[in-house]
Structure 1
Amino acid sequence: MKEIFQPSCFPVLIGSLPMSDHEKAADMVFAHTPEIPLWVQLPMYHEEGMIVQFMHGLPGHTVKDKKTYINTESGQFADEILRFYEDYMAVSEGQADIDSSRFVLRPDHAKGFFVYLDKINKLEKKPAALKGQITGPISFATSVKDQNGRSVFYDEQLRDTAIKILALKAKWQAKQLSQFNLPVIIFLDEPALAGFGSSEFISISKDEVRQSLEEVIEGVHSQGGLAGIHVCANTEWDLIMETSLDIVNFDAYSYFDRFILYPEVIKNFLNSGKIIAWGIVPTGSPEAIDKESVDSLAAIWENQIKAVEALGIERKMILNQSLITPSCGTGSLSLEHAVKVLELTRDLSARIREK
């Protein structure tokens, strides 16, 4: 069995917080999840929305009247496409430095990443691992639109540029974080995959999903990072877990009954040394957050672990290859509820590890 990294139920967050101060947001992350901290996205800033944040560098990238889109009708678009592929090839083949390319995160769109690097540099005690994140290729390419409001996913060339920019931005993140000589985790945030197979995405095939994911995963793997995925509702888990992803993060609080319907896939995934990140702390509604406690969530999780054990998987393996997370990001919650989610995640992880 290949052992990748054994997090042993450490807590980790998804990425967003309902705050306006990057320094304070980072301090909150390091206070609650010091074992595996991450950089924070603050969606109250338009430029830190999960789509806009990663669009810079795409050919045809246009901002007009507070709308961000890909303009394929400009006279320069053909030249922009050509330059994009020239830049991509130069970086991919080692002829150009990715650090001075269009494939980096920008301080004006991802301030949290640079605050994060600064915080890591000042730490006295090293974390167990470091986490970054990027919007996944399906969610990104179905959300980025051209001037006519059509998703770029449905244009083969535009889809290719969208996937390639994510792959290299994920690679750049992993490269930046690898300087600290710790395990690096990069999550692909894929909310759109919760709708896979629905009428909205009926024209997207499994092969297209798999190929799109694999290209971004390879960007992470090329720098020695671990590639994870976060899907905040149900999806076709066999499709996801049969890719080369190292970590799968699912909403265990609301969708465990759907997840467990893939017993052989789960067994193969864990037996290959990979990690399940249990989104057991609810974020879906203030009512659910108010209702739960460490005791109640520990009881729910214990029942879920027993169900996975019943598939013929040793409890020790499950515990070694698990992370504890919220079910989704907290950027749309009140600060009070976001703080409670962070506290529950930290305290539940501590309870499980004490046992």
Structure 2
Amino acid sequence: MPIPGNLLTTAMAVMPHTDVDRALETALSLDIPFWLQLPLYSYTEDMYVQASEHFPGIVLDMEKRTLRFSMEKFIAEFEEAMAHFEEPDYFDISEAYSVVYHRFLELDLSDRPAIRGQLEGPISFGLNVVDQDDRPILFDDTVRPFMLEFMARRINVQLARLKERNPNAFMFVDEPGLQFLFNAMAGYGDVAAHADMEGFFAMVDRPRGVHLCGNPDWDFLLSLDLDILSLDVYSNGEVFANYAPSIRRFLDRGATLVWGIAPTNFEPFERENLKSLEARLDEIWSALGKKGIDRDFLLSRSLLSPATCCLVNPDREKTVEKAFLVIKELSRRLRERFGL
């Protein structure tokens, strides 16, 4: 089944909540719900920590809230990891690493148009986790191929679990690090990264896609074999609209775009309203229409979401929850306006 479009609602996973019930209620308020990552509730709910479970060589300090890598530890633990490589449970997120994930799996989600999961992607994980020499493990030619296959298996196991709850489940690969990739050193540039990402997604089951809040090379991203792309168009919409040929090819393949439009940061949220956000989308969609992308077709392959994650608001979860309400109302207005 294709991923639904028609301006239904979903959102990113990282939330500022410390109350699991309230967080789940917020996620379930949207058309396409998801399990949440709540790093302020527990460090094990952090997206990088969750991706690191059972990864050989990881040095996790819960007290200092740090995640690092040791090559010596990697060598010592590698054989043990390979002994479990054909065991699906080994690659799933355990309850010790996410209470929220397992609570989500207990819910009856069969009546939803789709549900969604996520895992930190290999580029971002590899850039964020550094070794004993403070060098990102992404640049290590020994670790990187293993990391790509390890993360692909983790995504596939989670997707299989979610499909048991709803056959239209799909996965986001969270890749905030993609916007920094082209500034990376150590000789790992766009050509090598593109080949690695193509190989990575060849190992990942469908439906699968990328979520990020930054501003990467959109041609690079849109050329990957994805089923869905989630982005912050509130901040990057004008730039994104300049990539109409790549966007058109992406949509023509049957893929879906998630338009992140409602800001979750306190100050920009207070400056906006439904009318202004609708006008922003109209401007972007009109620009794409002038470049040959039919609006009806575009909307049929579009979802709406808040623009970004946000953990730093002075009111914690309140503005984020308001952004969810805005997205729901904006979806209702636009679906009514366009007869969806």
Asked whether the two chains share a fold, i.e. TM above 0.5, the reply is: yes
Select which of 313, 317, 325 maps to 1:335. Answer: 317
Counterpart Cα distance in 2 of 1:213 and 1:111: 30
Counterpart pick for 1:266 among 221, 241, 247 = 247
2: CA distance, partners of 1:250 / 1:181: 24
Secondary structure in structure 1 of the residue aligned to 2:144: helix
Instruction: Determine whether 1:109 maps to 2:97.
Output: yes
- The correspondence for 1:147, drawn from 113, 132, 138, is 132
- Asked if 1:289 corresponds to 2:269, the answer is yes
* Partner in structure 2 of residue 320 of structure 1: 300
**Aligned-residue identity in percent:** 27
Name the residue aligned to 1:28.
26
Q: Which amino acid aligns with 1:208?
A: A
1:206 equivalent among 161, 186, 190: 190
2:168 to 183, 186, 200: 183
Distance in 1, Cα, partners of 2:113 & 2:292: 29
Q: Work out whether residues 22 and 115 of structure 1, in 8 Å CA contact, stay in contact via their aligned partners in 2.
A: no
Q: 1:79, CA displacement in angstroms?
A: 4.3
Q: Match for residue 106 of structure 2?
A: 118
Q: How does 1:1-355 map to 2 (within 5 A)?
A: 4-31=2-29, 33=30, 35-44=31-40, 45-64=42-61, 66=64, 67-74=66-73, 77-88=74-85, 91=86, 97-99=87-89, 101=90, 103-119=91-107, 121=108, 126-198=111-183, 200-201=184-185, 203-221=187-205, 225-283=206-264, 285-333=265-313, 334-355=316-337
Deviation digits for residues 211-257 of structure 1 (CA, Å, limit 9, x no counterpart): 33334434442xxx311211212111111111111111221111112
- Aligned residue pairs, count: 332
Paired with 1:331 and 1:116, the residues of 2 have a C-alpha distance of 21
| Cα deviation, residue 72, structure 1 | 1.8
Deviations 1:77-99 (A, max 9, x none): 434223333433xx2xxxxx412
For 2:37 and 2:131, the matched residues in 1 are separated by 25
Instruction: Determine the C-alpha separation between the residues in 1 that align with 2:76 and 2:195.
Output: 27
Consecutive unaligned residues of structure 1, counting only runs of 5 or more, are: 92-96
| SS across alignment from 1:316 | helix
Structure 1 Cα separation of the partners of residues 212 and 186 of structure 2: 18
CA contact (8 A) 1:39 1:132 kept: yes
Q: Which amino acid aligns with 2:100?
A: G
Aligned equivalents of 2:83 and 2:13: distance in 1? 32
Residue 229 of structure 2 aligns to a residue whose secondary structure is strand
| C-alpha distance 353-248 of structure 1, shift in aligned 2 (>3 A) | same
Q: Is the 8 A contact 1:41 1:48 kept in 2?
A: yes
Query: Structure 1 residues 244 and 299 mapped into 2: Cα distance closer, same or farther (>3 Å)?
Result: same
Instruction: Tell me the TM-score normalised to structure 2 length.
Output: 0.91
**Kept after mapping to 2: 8 A contact 1:136/1:213:** no
Deviation string, structure 1 residues 135-158 (Cα, Å, up to 9, x no partner): 111110111122232211111122
Amino acid at match of 1:337: T
Paired residue type of 2:324: L
Amino acid in the other structure paired with 2:277: L
Partners of 2:7 and 2:299 within 8 A in 1: yes
